[in-house]
Amino acid sequence: MGARIVGGYATSHVPAIGVAMDTGKTEEDYWKPVFKGYEFSRKWIEDLKPDVAIVVYNDHATAFSLEIIPTFALGCAAQYIPADEGWGARPVPVVEGHPDLAWHMAQSIILDEFDLTIVNEMEVDHGLTVPLSLAFGQPEAWPCPVIPLAVNVVQYPPPTGNRCLNLGKAIRKAVESFDEDLRVVIFGTGGMSHQLQAERAGLINADFDNAFLDKLIADPKAAAAISHVEYLREAGSEGIELVMWLVMRGALGDDVTLRHRHYHVPASNTAVGHLVLEPVE
Ligand code: DHB
Ligand code: FE
């Protein structure tokens, strides 16, 4: 029957969430309501038992410096080492890849006219490891192989939301044309509203974020039409990370079932949003 996408998992990737988990602070008053919103999805993914996770995330000048900035970089490696982002590497397992599916995706998506960068060696930062921690907790080894797809949202110009939605559709086609019987979950990560620098540092916009969640679920084309300037104005300079949620959404097909929705402020400098979606077969 071949591979198929069985679920979508969207979440913010705030580094302090990783620190809270790594240092046993999740029960503290500040963090409790953040993590409460991930209890349902921890169980959901444990029951789902995906064979592979495609994690759409952004690198924060960790693996890619300003010397080389791929717009879309697909990890085809067998392993990805958690990066040292300045305070030592997070105490989380090495991320095992799935080279067979990743190379198949590279072929299918590039021949579908998306010019991906192929990456055979890459360290992964909080953009990838924090969502894995939220989804899977603190295991000895991650429960499934991971295919990282890094999107440039750090250096202008990032891809448009519409390009990201269409890339998601190409990912769906790629997965569905892989012969092996694999159940694949796709992660969209980053966001929601936040700005880490300059005059508007600390900006949060709950109205924008919730409207984005509504659109992403029920009207992805409308979500894909949000311009760069609108993200910048409404969701702050790092709010642009939300285009990565559109890649996930595109991979789920037109109609989805909402399994879980969570929104919480504060968490460090960022509004935390989280969705669990399933494709309607
Ligand atoms: C924060 C959020 C991010 O998305 C990030 O990459 C770094 C820091 C924060 O809220 O502190
Ligand atoms: Fe970020």
**Domain containing residue 223: CATH number:** 3.40.830.10
Find the mean pLDDT for residues 15-40: 98
Report the SS3 class of residue 183: strand
Ligand 1 binding pocket mutation candidate from 87, 194, 242, 243 (most atoms within 8 A of CB): 194
Helix, strand, coil % (nearest 5) of the chain?
35, 25, 40
According to the model, what pLDDT value does residue 1 have? Answer: 79
- Which residues are annotated as catalytic? 126, 194
Q: Is the CB of 194 under 6 A from ligand 1?
A: yes
Domain housing 85: 4-279
Q: Name the one residue in this structure whose structure tokens are 């086609």.
A: 173
* Gap from CA of 170 to ligand 1 centroid (Å): 29
The per-residue pLDDT for 32 is 98
Do the bridges between strand 256-267 and strand 95-96 make them parallel or antiparallel, or are there none, so unpaired? unpaired
Shortest-distance atom of ligand 1 to CA 12: 4
Query: Cα separation of 45 and 36, whole Å?
Result: 15
pTM of the model: 0.98
pLDDT at 281 over 80: no
Whether 117 is in the pocket of ligand 1, judged by its Cβ within 6 Å, is no
- For ligand 1, whether the C-beta of 85 sits within 6 Å is no
Domain count for the chain, please give it. Answer: 1
pLDDT (average), residues 22-39: 98
Beta pairing class for 183-189 and 95-96: unpaired
